[in-house]
């Protein structure tokens, strides 16, 4: 929709994508938090399993569900906007600045999740991701499942499959940097956040 309505103006398309992401992310975290802990992101789930906040036996199932959900979401969006369902992105997102941006975005995301107080994760995460769209060079995917889904969409938000592995590696590194920052800056780093 953003691409259709922006008339080629990337700034307008980015504003539209930002707003849609912020509002949808807030609602989804609120809706799915009580059911699954709102786990939409494999590296966040990995950090939670590492911290024993998520049973490690569930990590593989969560990751498969996250990747499958991303692919199905891309295909559903294509169907709604009368696009070819199966496609690959040609949008190149490469270079050290992009990978650094993904590490920073993901480190911040994990830090915010771990620091969010009871009942505040949805607004804090949605606000952080909305801001990170603009303060990172990569527009803050911060999620390997998002990378997976977006490489299957040759739209404004897509990513060339050839860049996907580098993004996912940067996100994994960033996730554990975020965990390290949390431990460094928290008075009680072993306290779990029940909302995430």
Within a domain: 192:
no
Report how many domains make up the chain: 1
Work out the average pLDDT over 133-155.
95
Q: Tell me what the mean pLDDT of segment 126-155 comes to.
A: 95
Structure pTM? 0.89
Give tens-digit pLDDT for 46-105.
999 999 999 999 999 999 999 999 999 999 999 999 999 999 999 999 999 999 999 999
Would residue 194 count as lying in a domain?
Answer: no
The pLDDT confidence band at residue 13, using thresholds 50, 70 and 90, is: confident
132 domain residue, yes or no: yes
Inside any domain, residue 58: yes
pLDDT at 3 over 70: no
95 in a structural domain: yes
- Does 196 reside within a domain? no
Query: What does the pLDDT look like over 183-195, one tens digit per residue?
Result: 999 866 555 554 4
Residue 143 has pLDDT above 70, yes or no: yes
Whole-angstrom distance, CA of residue 188 vs CA of residue 192: 9
- What mean pLDDT is predicted for residues 123-150? 95
Is 195 part of a structural domain of the chain?
no
Going by C-beta distance under 8 Å and a sequence separation of 6 or more, which residues neighbour residue 84?
Answer: 78
Q: What distance lies between CA 174 and its chain's CA centroid?
A: 12
- The Cα–Cα gap between 1 and 10 comes to 13
Report the candidate in 63, 69, 32 with the shortest Cα–Cα distance to residue 46: 63
Q: What is the CATH number of the domain that holds 107?
A: 1.20.1080.10
Boundaries of domain holding 7: 2-185
C-alpha dihedral sign at 167, 143, 13, 123: negative
6, part of any domain: yes
Output the pLDDT for position 9.
72
């Amino acid at each position: 929709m953003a691409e259709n309505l922006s008339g080629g103006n990337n700034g307008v398309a980015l504003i539209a994508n930002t707003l849609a992401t912020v509002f949808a992310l807030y609602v989804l975290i609120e809706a799915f938090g009580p059911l699954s802990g709102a786990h939409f992101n494999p590296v966040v789930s990995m950090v939670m399993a590492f911290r024993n906040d998520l049973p490690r036996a569930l990590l593989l199932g969560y990751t498969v569900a996250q990747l499958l959900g991303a692919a199905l979401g891309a295909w559903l969006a294509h169907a709604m906007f009368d696009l070819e369902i199966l496609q690959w992105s040609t949008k190149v997102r490469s270079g050290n600045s992009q990978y650094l941006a993904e590490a920073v975005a993901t480190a911040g995301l994990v830090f915010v999740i771990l620091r969010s107080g009871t009942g505040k994760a949805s607004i804090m995460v949605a606000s952080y991701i909305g801001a990170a769209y603009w303060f990172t060079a990569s527009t803050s995917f911060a999620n390997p499942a998002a990378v997976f889904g977006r490489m299957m969409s040759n739209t404004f938000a897509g990513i060339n499959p050839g860049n996907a592995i580098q993004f996912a590696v940067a996100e994994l590194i960033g996730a554990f940097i975020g965990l390290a920052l949390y431990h460094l800056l928290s008075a009680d780093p072993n306290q779990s956040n029940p909302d995430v």
